Structure formats: C-alpha cells, structure tokens
C-alpha cells in the first residue's frame, strides 16, 4: 500500500470520527434544549437567562448544520456563541464585583469588534506598495483576491 493510499484511509477515518462526533453534539444539544424547556415549563416562568441558554443551543445546532452542509464553520458563529455565553454569565451573576462586569463587557466588545472585522474583511484592500498604482494592489482588477 502506498503512502498516498494510507493517507487517504486515515483521512477518511478522521472524517468518519468527525461526523460521528458532530451527530453526538447535535443530539446532546437537542437533549439539553428539551431539558431546559421542560424546566421552564415546571417553573412556569421564562427569564432572560433561559432565553440566552436557548440561544446558545440554537447557535450550536446552527454551527453543526453549517459544518455538515458546507464542511466549513464561519468564524463568526463561535464568536457569537462566546458573546451569548458571556452575556448569560453576566446576567446570572447579578451580585458580582463591578470590575467583573467591566471585564465581561470588555470581552463582549472585543468579540463584537472581531466579528465586525471578520465580516468586513473582504471589503478591505491591502495597502499598495510604494511606487505602484492603486490598481496594482489586487492584481489590477480592483478587487481583493480571495482569502
């Protein structure tokens, strides 16, 4: 068996393991969401922290679905999940030190800026080298090459 054939077999095995774990993550996420809905039903009250937790479940499912359909995860999805998780922690810890709220808010702000930078990245053109014309920046087409 050649080295390329071995690499192909290992690659396929890794893809199968990856698919298995994605299915496990999706199932556990649905179970967690159903459990949360059951607990909300028992207490007959829906708080903001409950809604944020449901949002986390939906975002995780969306990330799994995005990967299954396109074999890619948009980098903004984990950023949005992190923002939601930090917001939920801040809401649940009402009696925390005020400096902790500032740190959490700063983390949310940094993540939001990161998401904005990632979203608008294709619109940003690289700086032209000294002595070149503006059209030389991206191969003369005026557009940025794919990342």
b vs e for 105-133, b when ≥16 Cβ sit within 10 Å of the residue's Cβ? eebbeebeeebeeeeeeeeeeeeeeeeee
| Residue owning tokens 């740190």 | 103
Tens-place pLDDT, residues 78-98: 899 899 899 888 888 878 888
> Cα dihedral sign for 137, 141, 142, 144?
negative
Q: Report the C-alpha gap between 68 and 78 in whole angstroms.
A: 15
Contact 64, 81 (CB under 8 A): no
- Are 54 and 33 spatial neighbours (Cβ–Cβ below 8 Å)? yes
pLDDT at position 146, please?
Answer: 42
* Residues in Cβ contact with 73 at an 8 Å cutoff, skipping those fewer than 6 apart: 63, 66, 67
Q: Is the model's pLDDT at 133 over the cut of 80?
A: no
Closest CA to 85 of 123, 126, 55, 115: 55
Most confident of 12-26, 84-98, 128-142: 12-26
Nearest to 86 by CA among 63, 99, 102, 105: 105
Tokens of residue 146, six digits: 């794919």
**pLDDT tens readout for residues 64-79:** 998 888 887 778 888 9
């Amino acid at each position: 068996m050649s080295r390329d054939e071995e690499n192909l077999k290992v690659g396929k095995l890794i893809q199968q393991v990856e698919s298995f774990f994605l299915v496990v993550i999706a199932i556990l996420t649905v179970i967690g969401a159903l459990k949360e809905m059951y607990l909300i039903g028992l207490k007959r009250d829906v708080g903001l922290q409950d809604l944020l937790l449901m949002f986390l479940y939906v975002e995780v499912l969306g990330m799994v679905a995005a990967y299954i359909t396109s074999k890619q995860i948009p980098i903004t999805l984990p950023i949005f999940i992190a923002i939601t998780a930090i917001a939920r922690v801040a809401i649940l810890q009402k009696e925390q030190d005020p400096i902790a709220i500032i740190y959490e808010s700063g983390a949310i702000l940094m993540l939001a800026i990161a998401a904005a930078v990632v979203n608008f990245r294709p619109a940003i053109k690289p700086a032209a080298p000294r002595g070149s014309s503006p059209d030389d920046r991206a191969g003369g087409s005026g557009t940025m090459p794919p990342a």
